[in-house]
Amino acid sequence: MKKLLYISLLAVLLSAAISCNRSVDKRLVLADTLMWTNPDSSLAILSAINRDSLQGDENQAYYALLFTQAQFRCNIPLTSDTLISKAVDYYSDNHNREHYTRSLLYKGGAYENMNNPVEAIKWYKQAENNADTTDYRNLAHINMRLGILYFKNYASNNLDLNKFQMAAHYYEILRDKKMTMVALEYCGNVLRITDVNAAKKCYDKALATASELNDTTSIYSINVNYALMYIEDSLYSQAKKYILEAYRLNNSFTENNNYYMLSLIYANQKDLDSAKYFISLPDKSQNTAYDSLLMYKAMKEVALCENNLTQYRKFDKQYNRISNSLEHNETKYALSKFEDDFDADRIASKGKKVSLLNKSIFILVALFLILALVTAALFIISRRKNRKDQQQMIDELKEESFGNYEELRSNLADIDNHFSKTMTEKLISLEEIMTGAYNPNQDSKSKEVEHKISPIADDDTKFWEGLYSYINIKHNGAMDRIANDYPQLSASDLNFIKLMCCGFSDAAIAVCRNYRNVASVRSRRRKIRDKMGIEGNLTDYIRNITVR
């Protein structure tokens, strides 16, 4: 018993001795506590420390982590990963999981500062994988950094949106209003291209928080992003309201795209002098790719305002070149691939605990079942949706009178060519649909439905050329005027307009062009109207041209 007591006492003394040797410098602890609330003070404390005075590997590693983090938090560019690598190496064999997560995170930050996004994401993803599920602060910051990198490099598959949403979630848990607002604003920036309503909700929440915090810098930024959202949706009056509010908050813009937005808005409103003035202000050598895209969009609008089609075509070519380069950006695909590969590797490494054979069989069976269920579900959903869309088109056609097309059919009676034959067949199909000659919900009639609702292909050159000539004859060269006045329209756009010139309704055009639903016709009509740069209703505009 006495021997056991001596052994226990010796263990306690050894433990105390080890603890003394591994004591953490109090200056480092103080710098760490100030890191999130006052990073400038944290950096000042760390800068005053002589590294040689720090005792032990733990203090050296802790200092390397904190100094790198403080520089990153104070927006001091990191030009090397040498210092933070010491922390990564030390904590990789240490049991301080939180410090190791932070070391991985700021090694990624160093590579981000060194303009190496793929390498940065490699370390960010390792930090994400290592972080404890309750380590909300680090998880929030990791997701924010990943989101910003994906956003800046136009990564695909909504990678940026997913990360910003996760960051906002973690910041809300932390009750960090400022960073929640920043994450929501980024969510709006991603969504404004694909879902204006969702983007507006994000901006509204962010603006409410910015107003609550009296953060004029963020209020300015959110107003600029509101303007961009409305410009991308060609709603220039709404965009003008927000960009002028931003200009009121800061009448010395530093971002080039703000001037280009104003130029684009004024050109759209036919205020040529203001448009030219604002487009002349930025230093174009400082343009980012996105700035250049907006600049050429504004220049195109100015050229249209001046009726200078030569300049318009020139700027349109430059605009499309930059747009394509962003769409096919190599870094974009490298980032997306790394994200997928990393997640796959992580799943594989965890699976080593299970027998390889059993795991493979399990995964294959599970994938097969999931694939089968998903395929079946998608097939059923798609089939129901197609039937619903077809029924909607048919219902709309049944409400019409075929008398609207009788004149067109009578005009074709004496024309013996491919055009008249194809058009006559399509008119007969439309008439049968209008008169309810068959029930599209009967499976036995499915092939008949597919035949009736089948497209006139764009490559049916003879038909479209014949229709072009017919409209010119019938409406005094209407197609020639449209094609000459709007060279930016594609062949497919012109084919759509030809059907409109013949008086085809939305539902009839949906049948002739094989759109999935009538809403697609209306969406295409709006896009053509925006391409032509006209205001008001495209149907009325075409009707006015054809009655000249």
Q: Write the secondary structure of 122-135 as one string of H (helix), E (strand) and C (coil).
A: HHHHHHHHHCCCCC
Cα separation, 271 vs 499, in Å, equals 35
Q: What pTM did the predictor assign? A: 0.55
Say what the pLDDT of residue 452 is: 58
Say what the pLDDT of residue 186 is: 93
- For residue 357, the tally of other CB atoms under 10 A from its CB is 8
Would residue 370 count as lying in a domain?
no
The tokens describing 203, both together, are 């901006």
Cα separation, 420 vs 515, in Å, equals 23
For 412, phi then psi, to 5°, come to: -85, -15
CA distances from 170 to 104, 137, 139, 142, 259 (A): 19, 7, 7, 10, 35
Q: What is the DSSP letter of 25?
A: P
Q: Are 43 and 69 in contact (CB under 8 A)?
A: no
Cα separation, 494 vs 524, in Å, equals 12
Cα separation, 168 vs 172, in Å, equals 6
Note down pLDDT in tens along the chain; length 548 residues: 445 444 444 444 444 444 444 588 999 999 999 998 899 999 999 999 998 889 999 999 999 999 999 999 999 999 999 999 999 999 998 779 999 999 999 999 999 999 998 899 999 999 999 999 999 999 999 999 999 988 887 766 678 899 999 999 999 999 999 999 999 999 998 898 888 899 999 999 999 999 999 999 899 999 999 998 888 888 888 989 998 888 888 766 667 888 888 888 998 889 999 989 988 988 888 888 878 888 998 899 899 888 998 999 999 998 888 877 766 554 544 455 545 554 444 444 444 444 444 556 667 777 878 887 877 777 777 667 766 776 776 776 666 667 667 777 777 766 667 777 888 777 777 777 777 654 555 544 444 555 556 667 777 888 888 888 888 888 888 889 888 988 998 988 888 888 888 888 888 888 787 777 888 888 888 899 898 888 888 888 888 887 76
Q: Which residue has the tokens 């709007």?
A: 486
Cα separation, 106 vs 84, in Å, equals 7
- For residue 543, the tally of other CB atoms under 10 A from its CB is 13
Would residue 114 count as lying in a domain?
yes
The tokens describing 355, both together, are 């027998």
Residues 38 and 147 in one domain: no
Cα separation, 162 vs 256, in Å, equals 28
At which of 251, 284, 304 does a domain end? 251
At which of 127, 160, 195 does a domain end? 127
At which of 297, 312, 331 does a domain end? 331
Would residue 2 count as lying in a domain?
no
The tokens describing 523, both together, are 């969406």
Residues 238 and 277 in one domain: no
Say what the pLDDT of residue 88 is: 95
Residues 115 and 137 in one domain: no
Q: Where residue 150 sits, what CATH number does that domain have?
A: 1.25.40.10
Q: Which residue has the tokens 């690598």?
A: 85
- For residue 93, the tally of other CB atoms under 10 A from its CB is 7
Would residue 359 count as lying in a domain?
no
Cα separation, 449 vs 433, in Å, equals 9
The tokens describing 109, both together, are 């930050």
Answer positive or negative: Cα dihedral of 273, 277, 279, 280. positive
Residues 140 and 117 in one domain: no
Would residue 493 count as lying in a domain?
yes
Would residue 266 count as lying in a domain?
no
Residues 238 and 311 in one domain: no
Cα separation, 493 vs 490, in Å, equals 5
Hey, what long-range contacts does 109-112 have (CB within 8 A, 24 or more apart)? Answer: 109/68, 109/72, 109/78, 109/145, 110/68, 110/72, 110/78, 110/80, 110/81, 110/84, 111/81, 112/145, 112/149
Domain extent for 50:
25-127
Residues 78 and 177 in one domain: no
Cα separation, 68 vs 63, in Å, equals 8
Residues 428 and 465 in one domain: yes
Residues 406 and 526 in one domain: yes
Say what the pLDDT of residue 433 is: 75
Residues 291 and 145 in one domain: no
Nearest to 164 by CA among 143, 136, 137: 143
Say what the pLDDT of residue 454 is: 65
Q: Are 127 and 101 in contact (CB under 8 A)?
A: yes
Cα separation, 506 vs 351, in Å, equals 55
Cα separation, 303 vs 299, in Å, equals 6
Residues 304 and 227 in one domain: no
Q: Which residue has the tokens 């960010």?
A: 124
Residues 171 and 231 in one domain: yes
Position 502, amino acid: C
Say what the pLDDT of residue 100 is: 95
Cα separation, 228 vs 423, in Å, equals 44
Would residue 285 count as lying in a domain?
yes
Q: Are 331 and 153 in contact (CB under 8 A)?
A: yes
Cα separation, 49 vs 25, in Å, equals 10
Query: Is residue 279 classed exposed, middle or buried when 0-12, 13-18 and 19+ CB atoms within 10 A define those classes?
Result: buried
The tokens describing 213, both together, are 């915090």
Report how far apart the first and last C-alpha atoms of the chain are (Å, whole number).
114
The tally of domains found in the chain comes to: 4
Cα separation, 480 vs 493, in Å, equals 14
Would residue 137 count as lying in a domain?
yes
Residues 54 and 178 in one domain: no
HEC secondary structure over 151-214: HHCCCCCCHHHHHHHHHHHHHHHHCCHHHHHHHHHHHHHHHCCCCHHHHHHHHHHHHHHHHHCC
The tokens describing 309, both together, are 């089609």
